Structure 1
Amino acid sequence: MKNHFWNMFANIKNGQLAKRSYIHQKRKKLCELFLNILWTEGFIIGYKIEGKNQDNLKIFLKYVENGKPSINNIKAISKPGRRISYSLKQIWKIDSSKTLIIFSTNQGLKTLAECKKLQLGGEPLITIN
């Protein structure tokens, strides 16, 4: 299932490099959770569920001044072949002033700030800046 998640990162990167206003993605629950965080944090304009069976997502990409993508870099931290997990103590040592870090926790996908607030550890999936 996480394969669609990693493909979505590549699609977003490639869509922004090609200056597209939107991209299409297969609808998966994990992808939607991730997109909700991106929308809340202001990295995308939004997304819409499409298709006959409501099985596709149309993701609207966001650009800032001079047509630069709002997402400069998406980088995987914990990968399927190399899992990493952070305890609550380790999470408090991370400086998140310049990047958004998304964690997979036992309560779903959370940002670093949410993990600190909810006192949760977890698996850091990606950084975005």
Structure 2
Amino acid sequence: MVTDSIGDLLTRIRNANLIYQESLELPFSKLKWEMVQLLKKEGFLKECILSADELGRKNIKLALKYGSGRRRVISGIRRVSKPGRRIYSSLRGLKPYRKGFGVTLLSTPNGVLTDRTATQQKVGGEVLCMVW
């Protein structure tokens, strides 16, 4: 049983990306679904689909995105807030990550948002991860 589902999601994406795997499948949770939808919207993933297995359990199928010549679109992914140490950021603490080429995902009262969207909506929250 996985105790840190966000860490598991990020590790699966990182490992699949390192071996140039085209797709991967992981167990469904609402938080993970919101995170992968944002990563797709930001251009880091090609596709994310909800599916069910023969027992009726929901899964998320991801298709990773690669550039020409098998260049990785995701060059790095890092978990910030962990179960043992939660990291929160106010609106003032949100800065563009990697000079705007990376994205920070936050869990806010308005749902999971990117750092740019959270700045526009003027909310802070728990810093989940950074992707570049």
Q: TM-score, normalised by structure 1?
A: 0.91
Give the AA of the match of 1:33.
Answer: E
SS in 2 for 1:89: coil
Q: 1:19 — aligned with what?
A: 20
| Pairing of 1:49-128 with structure 2 (within 5 A) | 49-50=50-51, 51-52=53-54, 53-91=56-94, 94-96=95-97, 97-128=100-131
Contact 2:91–2:122 (Cα < 8 Å) also in 1:
yes
Aligned residues: CA RMSD: 1.5
Q: Which amino acid counterpart does residue 18 of structure 2 have in structure 1? A: L
In structure 1, runs of 5+ residues without a counterpart are none
Decide whether the 8 Å contact of 1:4 with 1:26 is kept in 2.
no
**Structure 1 residue 2: Cα displacement:** 6.8
Q: Secondary structure at the match of 1:57?
A: strand
Equivalent AA in structure 1 for residue 27 of structure 2? K
Report how many residues are paired.
127
Structure 2, gaps ≥5 residues long: none
Give the % identical residues.
26
TM-score by length of 2: 0.89
* Counterparts in 2 of 1:54 and 1:14: CA distance versus 1, 3 Å: same
Shift in alpha-carbon separation, 1:47–1:19, aligned structure 2, 3 A? same
